Structure 1
Amino acid sequence: MAQMNFVSNWEGVESVPESYVWPQEKRPGIALKKTIPVLDFATQDRALLFQKILDSTHEFGVFQVINHGVSKKLVEETMSVFKEFHSMPPQGKRREVSKDNKSCKVFTSSNNYENEQTHLWRDCLSLTCYPDLHQNIHSWPQNPPKLREVVGAYCIAMEKFSREIIDLISEGLGLGQGYFEGEMSSYRRLTANHYPICPNPSLTMGLNQHCDRDLMTILFQDVSGLQVFKDGHWISIDPIDDAFVVNFGYLLEVISNGKLKAVEHRVVTNAEASRQSFGYVIFPEKEMIIEPAKCLINEANPPHYRSFKVEDFNRHFFAVSNNNEETMKFILA
């Protein structure tokens, strides 16, 4: 931790340090501006809502959700307390966490800072929420003083909303009630990313191109920066008021036998404003077996993916530095 130089604590940086300059072919280029589907979760027509999820993920890989039941005030309070944390001095952040604390991690760039060739223009606070929220909260930072209370309330609200999405997907795919209950979706993390103002956004990345290794990510962002790769183009996912962005990970792609796809995405930096996002991330427990749901398999629709244990997938995912081509080789049948 002592070697890490939090980007958010740099003063008066006028150029991008060499260790943050990405190779030419991996730098951000032009992104398209398109209208991303916005799904109203207050609708009573669940079949129509699920069809819109299918259509949205097929066309863009993501969708935005309004009327999700999470209060705007709580989202704003969560945003505020995370901004306050990232503005703390480095020693304050380090004091709040420890390396052996699995429920709370703070790092700059990535978990692999010491070994990575090029750094990312971001700082991150990662908190384990479930399966035991009450126990995990006691490992979270005590400063800012309201963090545990506010973020704990946010996690409870997100648990309820995420369960609604998961139940809708289970129902829509025909998996039956309870398919994702228990250990299949019990592990939840909240990742608060901070991307400070960058003197030259054309040289560096906030997050490099990747797909998520989870079931699903539910993201809130305050300013633009998120982009998805679809049909050979990068598309900018601009925030709209009081909406979450939802995208699926590799594991749900496997379970759905390809009906719901993981989408490659990245985060670009900004010369005018810092960007803050927090993602609620849903995983199965590491000992769970992931495979195409049996009810989706028949002669006309054979399994496109193989069966594997989550912990084996995670090991491979990190070994290939979340390279999509190499990861697909691991999961395809």
Structure 2
Amino acid sequence: MNRSIKFSRPELMNFSDVTLRLAINRHLPDESQQWPEDELVCMQADLFADFRKRYLAHEENATSFKTYVGAYMVWYLAPYTSKYIAHSLMMDLGTPQSLPNFIRNRCWELVENVLPLAFWKTQLDKIDQHSRRTVFEGYNLLREVMLAEVAHHDGLVSQHMSDFIETLSLNFYNMSLEWDVLERIYEKMPHMHGSLVEMYATLQEYNAHNMRTSMRKPSSSYVHVPYLVTARAYSLLAAREIPVPLAEMIWPMLHSRYPLPAQMAGFGWELARGLVDMVYYTYFMVSDHMKRSPRVGSCSVLGD
């Protein structure tokens, strides 16, 4: 495959919305990450214009849409507000046995959404410099092992990995963000008071506000909602970061008193998965969403 991985603009999925670009330009030497055009790709203007015309311009359609949104919110927030409602929903769907998993998944998602509210405090109070150093020592060992293993099978893939890894980092501590930027991001966040639903609603409103206000920012601006982006392909190819869940970054999961093998057992598989995904995206996939099939020279569309 004729491509330059080290200093090339990632074409896969072609994300260029400013809210998804924060982690790109601040700490990387790759000048090609400075994209000149402020185009909406993930948040497409034409898509929203068509949505407004089709569903919101007519009163009947708007009423129907609001009813649907209301029903969805009841379903989405049921595990947080009422066990009776959650049970009734599962009964109506004919899957009462799924109630425990439904509640568990919603609660984990809530934890992921609420943790950023206090993330800065956990950093200051619970995560010391020695713990951070331990994390990156473990990550470096994992990279060395993987490069050595791949080199036994394919030297070209190993070379591609080595070139790309030079600009690959971890998002454990929002490494691409300075503290002043983080403080501006979180300054409007609510304090930890009020009901759970109120706090969750405020958080979602804040995320939506950041999205709207950043849609037409210059390409060099730094506007970002941490952990809003969930596309692994973007995180690896554009932001050049391996994403790690928030729950695995805070004490007591991460602490210098825990030996390295214990820490790697907890979050090492996330790092390994990121490295494996990076190999898959950068070597076995081409930029037009095709992937190499086992037969030489043939391709198949992703999802087939």
Question: Per the shorter chain, which TM-score range?
Answer: under 0.3
Larger RCO, structure (CA 8 Å, separation 6 or more): 2
What TM-score do you get using the length of structure 2 for normalisation?
0.26
Higher helix content, 1 or 2: 2
Higher strand content, 1 or 2: 1
Whichever of the two has the greater Rg, that structure is 2
